[in-house]
Amino acid sequence: MEHVVRDVTESAEQIRGGVPVTAGRFDFRFADQRWEWSDEVAAMHGYAKGEAHPTTELLLSHKHPDDREYVATLISDAVTNSQAFCSRHRIIDVSGAAHEVIVVADTLIENDAIVGTTGFYIDLTEIIDQERKEALDEALPDLHEARAAIEQAKGVLRYVYRISPDQAFGVLRWRSQETNTKLRDLAAQIMADLNTLPGPAAHTQTQFDHLLLTAHLRITPGPEQ
C-alpha cells in the first residue's frame, strides 16, 4: 500500500506543478463502522502516530462546521448504499488549523462482497496556499504600480488646484466614473500627458528652487529628534 500512497502523492504533485502534498490512506468498514487511518491522515488531524483511534464521531468532530453535515450525509449514504466515500471538505486539526482535503476512494471488496470503502486523503492546503501566494505575488506589482500612478496624479491635482489629498482623489474618481475609465489608467494617462505641457515659468522654478534648498531649515524637530 505504501507504494500506492507514494504514487498518489507524486501524481498530485505533477498535477499541481510540484508543490508538496500530503496523502494518506484510510479504510472504513460498513458493518461495524470501523475506521483505520495511516499516520499521514492522523497527522492531518493533528495527531501523532498511535495517539488517537479514528471513529465516525471523532472524524466528524474535526470537520469544518460548514462541512460537517455534508460529510455526515456522505458517510451515511456510503453505509446505506454500500458505496465509496468520496468528498472535498475542510478538516480542523487539534491546533485549530484548517486543512482542505479531497477524499479519493473506491469500494472495499472481500469474498466478492462490498464490505466498505478504502482510499486516500489528500491534503490540498499547501497547494491552495501556494496558489494564493502566487496569485498575490502576480498582483502585487500591478497594485503597487497602480497606487504609484494614482498618488502621483493626486499630487499634481493638489498643486494645480490647491486642494486636499481627499479632494484630489475625489476629482480623479469623478473623472473615472464619468468616463467609465479605470482609475489607475486615468491616473497613468494624466502623468504621461503632463510631459506634453510647457515647463513652469522661470520665476516659478526659481521660487521652487529656493523651497527645495531651504526646506530642511523649516522642519520642526519632533519629540524624538
Beta bridge partners of 106: 118
List per-residue pLDDT tens for the chain, 225 residues long. Answer: 444 444 444 444 444 444 446 789 999 999 999 999 999 999 999 999 999 999 999 999 999 999 999 999 999 999 999 998 888 899 999 999 999 888 888 899 999 899 999 998 988 887 766 666 666 566 556 666 778 888 999 999 888 888 888 888 888 988 888 889 998 899 999 999 988 888 777 777 788 778 888 888 888 877 765
Classify 45 as helix, strand or coil.
Answer: coil
**Rounded distance, CA 113 to CA 178, Å?**
70
Contacts 24+ apart (CB under 8 A), 60-69: 62/91, 62/92, 62/93, 63/89, 63/90, 63/91, 63/92, 64/89, 64/90, 64/91, 64/92, 64/98, 66/90
Instruction: Give the architecture (CATH level 2) of 138-199.
Output: Orthogonal Bundle (1.10)
Beta pairing, strands 98-110 & 22-29: unpaired
Domain ranges of the chain: 2-123, 138-199
Domain 2-123: CATH superfamily, name plus number: PAS domain (3.30.450.20)
